[in-house]
Amino acid sequence: MLRRQLPSNVSLFAFEAAARRLSFTRAAAELNVTQPAISAAVAKLERFLAVPLFERKGARLELTEAGFRLYRAVSNGFERIEAEISEIQAQRTQKEPVILSISSAMTAHWLVPRLPEFESRFPHVELRFSLIPGEPAGPVDDFDLAVRLDSMLHGNVDACPFVDEKIYAVCAPSYLAQYGPLGKGRAHTFISMTLQRISWKEFMERLNIEPCIDARTLVFSDYAIVIHAAAAGQGVAMGWVSVVSHLLASGMMVTALPLAMSTGRQYWLATPKAKATRSVTREVRNWMIDQMGKDVAAVETVCAS
């Protein structure tokens, strides 16, 4: 099978974008990752194939013969897949589509658990997702709704406050029972995301928590996996309330500290001005705001008890 012949499916996406744009930097901007991440993914694919796929000629990036052959095959495959997906979607439903740009973490841990409620409330709507593995960022022109931090709002958009940025130290109940809360010099496993915007050091200092001794670390490139690992009892993660509110409110996760870090920032639900008049977009946006408000209130009640 193809997936057994490749080091990673991600490497194909990285290679295709870099080959199409002949630029690691532009490919990284398109895929909303860092340039080193694109370079590393392509290098991993080259090591696996044992041939170079690109060569630099001065400031220019060019495909080798092997790179061109692979790009032709991959791009043709992607185009066929995209065409078939569009055809299937068109034939499958007459529902009104709402395209949502959101982090994979928020989708997995906050939105997916309430999809049955969404489908009951909006039987005429089909949610389509554009997922971001880390911090939700980038332009919103191609989407109906986009979750963005206030400092990442750009362009001509109509935006509504969604949730304040608040961060808890979260873990599984079993982990807390075994290792206890943070602080007092206890050894813990800290789980974080690559290039996480707020470090554990800053988090602990802001909350005046004594640094842990002999701390271990787990680092993932997707924040959804960070939270999954913490929920599975592998350590403590910084839990943005926009992602973990459902997990905390339901008791599937608990806080490893009685305190939370408030940054003073907000997440917003943004819509391009050109699409802001769609009533279905406003209805979905208001439903998401209402659901998040209920979850945050439930978390505050749980954490205060």
CATH number for the domain spanning 36: value is: 1.10.10.10
- Give the type of residue at 204: M
Is residue 301 in some structural domain? no
User: What string of H, E and C letters represents the secondary structure of the chain?
Assistant: CHHHHCCCHHHHHHHHHHHHHCCHHHHHHHHCCCHHHHHHHHHHHHHHHCCCCEEEECCEEEECHHHHHHHHHHHHHHHHHHHHHHHHHHHHCCCEEEEEEEEHHHHHHHHHHHHHHHHHHCCCEEEEEEEECCCCCCCCCCCCEEEEEHHHCCCCEEEEEEEEEEEEEEECHHHHHHHCCCCCCCCCEEEEECCCCCCHHHHHHHCCCCCCCCCEEEEECCHHHHHHHHHCCCCEEEEEHHHHHHHHHHCCCEEEEEEEEEEEEEEEEEEEHHHCCCHHHHHHHHHHHHHHHHHHHHHHHHHHC
The answer to whether the CB of 44 falls within 8 A of the CB of 26 is no
User: Do 200 and 226 have their domain in common?
Assistant: yes
Residue 149 covered by a domain: yes
In this structure, the answer to whether residues 36 and 125 fall within a common structural domain is no
Q: Within this chain, do residues 216 and 130 fall inside the same structural domain, yes or no?
A: no
Does 83 map to a domain?
yes
Whether 110 is covered by a domain: the verdict is: yes
Are residue 180 and residue 255 in the same domain, yes or no?
A: yes
Cα 247 to Cα 303: distance, rounded to the nearest angstrom: 13
pLDDT band at 1 (very low <50, low <70, confident <90, very high): very low
pLDDT of residue 91: 59
> Is residue 182 over pLDDT 60?
yes
Based on the domain organization, do 153 and 43 belong to the same domain? no
183, pLDDT greater than 80? no
Q: What is the pLDDT of residues 254-266, one digit of tens each?
A: 999 888 999 999 9
Average pLDDT over residues 268-286: 87
The last residue of a domain, from among 91, 120, 146: 91
- Name the range with the highest mean pLDDT among 53-57, 68-72, 73-77, 289-293: 289-293
State whether 180 and 252 are in the same domain.
Answer: yes
Q: pTM surpassing 0.95?
A: no
Question: Which of 91, 106, 134 finishes a domain?
Answer: 91
Tokens of 251: 């008791």
**153 and 285, same domain (yes or no):** yes
Q: How many domains does the chain have?
A: 3
How much of the chain, in percent, has pLDDT values that exceed 70?
90
What residue numbers bound the domain in which 102 lies?
A: 94-164+266-296
Q: Is the dihedral of CA 2, 20, 44, 223 positive or negative?
A: negative
109 inside domain: yes
63 within a domain of the structure (yes/no): yes
- Is residue 251 domain-shared with residue 172, that is, in the same domain? yes
Closest residue by Cα to residue 288 from 152, 138, 142, 163: 163
Same domain flag for 31 and 55: yes
Where a domain ends, among 40, 74, 91?
Answer: 91
Please say if the pLDDT value at position 34 is more than 70: yes
Mean of the pLDDT values across residues 268-276? 84
Same domain, 158 and 277: yes
